[in-house]
Structures are given as C-alpha cells and as structure tokens.
C-alpha cells in the first residue's frame, strides 16, 4: 500500500510487507514489486489520454457488444454485455469492450507516452497493444508508481514525483541532499476535473 499527499508528492504511508521486520533492506513490495494492474489501469491508460486528446467525452456512446479486434483479440466483459452505453456508464460497471475501443482510437503508443509522463517506468515495447487498455502488461506496475499516476489526476493534472524524504542533513547540520522532485503538467485542469467526476461517480 502507498498513500501519497497528491499536492506535494510526499509519501505519507507505505506498507511493503507483513509481519516483523527481520532483515535490513529487504524486499518492499509497495515500491519494488511490479504487478498486473487489471482494470485499475483504465483511468490512466485510456480515460486520461482520450479525454485530453478530445477523442471522448463522458457522454460518448460505444457499442458494448462482442467484438473481434486485430490479431483475433476478443476481450470479454466480467459480467454481461450492455449494448450501446456512454463512457460514464462503461466506467460505472468497468465494462471492458468500450475501453478497448477507446484504446484503439487513442492508440497504445500514445497511451504509453501519457503513462510515462505520469511516472510509469516499467512499460515495455510488448505493452504497445490493445490489451494495455485492460491491464494486460508484460511486467506490470508498482503500487508506488500507480499511486503517483493517480495523484496526477487528484492534483489537477500535474504529476509530482513521489518522495519519501525532502532533505538529508549531516550531524553537523549541513544539508547533504535536497530532494528535487520532477514536476510535469500532463492533463489540463478541465480534463482532470472530468476524470475525478467520472471516478467519484
């Protein structure tokens, strides 16, 4: 688990394992382990770029019917297909087929560029395909980087690199390290507001 103050990128809570700590510098699953994201990738890989590129609005309609995409890719919904629905409705029940159709318009290449601007570093060339829309990744993403990407949405579209410290001071009081966080405008405030509205609903 990672909890970030989205206004300044400071990590205020992190759990990287269970039980008593028995080794120094052991594996921290929150920062070092990359995992498949499933549908939690949809807002950052699909909705954010599609809204920013003006490909969709919350009211854009997609046909949530069984579809065969390139190379025979045929994703299924977790529950039943819902026919013609808006993007807002697709978000509500996390339908899969509309998100793949949106990804087809955005293109995986553009989606990856947006994700990298939001601090995702573990994507590969093999991720440049339609299953990216549903979290079908070669490797995955760490909880820390996912939290940083979502914090971009919460922070009105500006990515701030997550940090666990601000300054390191020696015992004599001298500043040894000042943390300089990367900051980047990724989404407009209007787009991030729309995304927040969709996700809150």
**Per-residue model confidence as pLDDT tens digits over 51-104:** 999 999 999 999 999 999 998 999 999 889 999 999 999 999 999 999 999 999
Give the DSSP letter string of 151-177.
HHHHTTTEEE--BS-SEEE-TTS-EEE
> 3-state class of 28 per DSSP?
coil
How does residue 20 score in pLDDT terms, banded at 50, 70 and 90?
confident
At residue 19, the pLDDT reads 87
Contact 52/45 with Cβ under 8 angstroms? Answer: no
- What angle do the packed helices 108-117 and 97-106 form, to 10 degrees? 90
How does residue 152 score in pLDDT terms, banded at 50, 70 and 90?
very high
Tokens representing 166 are 């601000």
d(CA 9, CA 65): 40
At residue 164, the pLDDT reads 95
Of 16-20, 42-46, 56-60, 111-115, give the lowest mean pLDDT range: 16-20
Asked whether the predicted pLDDT for residue 33 surpasses 90, the reply is yes
Question: For the residues 176-186, what does the mean pLDDT come to?
Answer: 94
∠ Cα 147 34 88 (to 5°): 45
> 3-state class of 10 per DSSP?
strand
At residue 177, the pLDDT reads 93
d(CA 118, CA 169): 30
Residues making up the chain, counted from first to last: 201
d(CA 22, CA 70): 49
Percent of the chain with pLDDT over 70: 100
At residue 79, the pLDDT reads 85
Asked whether the predicted pLDDT for residue 154 surpasses 90, the reply is yes
At residue 90, the pLDDT reads 97
Interacting residues of 111 by C-beta distance below 8 A, sequence separation 6+: 45, 46, 49, 103, 132, 133
Question: For the residues 116-128, what does the mean pLDDT come to?
Answer: 97
Asked whether the predicted pLDDT for residue 201 surpasses 90, the reply is no
Q: What is the CA radius of gyration of the chain?
A: 19
Q: Quick check: pTM over 0.85?
A: yes
At residue 24, the pLDDT reads 87
């Amino acid at each position: 688990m990672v909890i970030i103050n989205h206004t300044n990128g400071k990590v205020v809570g992190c759990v990287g394992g269970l039980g008593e700590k028995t080794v120094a510098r052991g594996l921290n699953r929150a920062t070092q382990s990359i995992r498949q994201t499933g549908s939690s990738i949809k807002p950052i890989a699909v909705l954010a770029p599609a809204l920013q590129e003006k490909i969709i609005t919350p009211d854009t309609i997609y046909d949530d019917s069984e579809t065969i995409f390139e190379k025979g890719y045929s994703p299924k919904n977790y529950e039943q297909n819902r026919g013609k629905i808006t993007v807002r409705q697709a978000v509500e029940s996390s339908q899969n087929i509309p998100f793949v159709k949106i990804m087809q318009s955005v293109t995986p290449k553009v989606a990856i560029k947006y994700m990298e601007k939001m601090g995702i570093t573990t994507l590969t060339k093999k991720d440049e395909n339609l299953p990216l829309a549903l979290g079908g990744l070669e490797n995955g993403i760490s909880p820390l980087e996912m939290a940083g990407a979502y914090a971009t949405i919460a922070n009105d579209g500006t990515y701030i690199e997550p940090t666990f410290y601000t300054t390191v001071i020696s015992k004599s009081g001298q500043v040894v390290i000042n943390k300089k966080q990367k900051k980047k405008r990724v989404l407009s405030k209007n787009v991030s507001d729309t995304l927040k509205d969709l996700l809150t609903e």
